[in-house]
Amino acid sequence: MRTILFIAILLAIGGCSSKQPSLKVYTLHAQATHVPAHKYLKHKTIRVSYSRSIKEKASYKMRYSYSASEQGSYQNSQWSNNLGRLLQGVLIEGLERSRMFRAVMPYTSTLREDYRLESSIFDFSHHIRGQASYAIVSIQFNLIDIGTGRLLKSKRFTYKEPTVTTDAQGYVEATNRIMTRLSQDLLRWL
């Protein structure tokens, strides 16, 4: 009886003292870039729509894959906000810093805009293939003239950036390098 009680106490104490790995929270960030602005855009406004994911629901989860059919999400790492909102924030921040437009508005703004920038996420994940590890970002942008309702431009940007490590932190660092390149390329495209 004492032996069973002793074992039960050891298991209870051992179970209470086991340490779970802490949740690491990451965000997207793009370095400031300078791209010459077109004069005709200086007096225009743009609304940046919430980014939609084509394949999977945009969420806090950080996705990885070992093959085209084997996918998962990190258990102890996540984005600081829904991926669509994080991407929208990076885009708004980059457009505001560029001073390309008179005003850059989020989708929730009630002001009338001249242009709307829509984006569709095709891939935003960490690909691990054997010893190779990459951050993959593939996003299509559509620029719409609100006055006419016409699509002015459409372009898909796809990036593959090697990671230094195969963990979530290496993936985020590579993804943030991609965000800087994406911001530059988007400003040049607009």
For 109-142, write each residue's pLDDT tens digit: 888 999 999 999 999 999 999 889 999 999 999 9
Please report whether residue 149 resides in a domain: yes
Instruction: Establish how many alpha carbons lie within 13 A of residue 156's alpha carbon, considering only the half-sphere containing its beta carbon.
Output: 8
> Which structural domain, as residue segments, surrounds residue 72?
48-98+119-189
Please report whether residue 184 resides in a domain: yes
Any idea what the CATH number is for the domain that residue 146 is in?
A: 3.40.50.10610
Please report whether residue 104 resides in a domain: no
Within 10 angstroms of residue 125's Cβ, the number of other Cβ atoms is: 23
| Token pair of 62 as six digits | 């950080």
Please report whether residue 106 resides in a domain: no
Give the count of domains, the chain: 1
For 6-18, write each residue's pLDDT tens digit: 565 655 555 555 5
- Name the pTM for this structure: 0.83
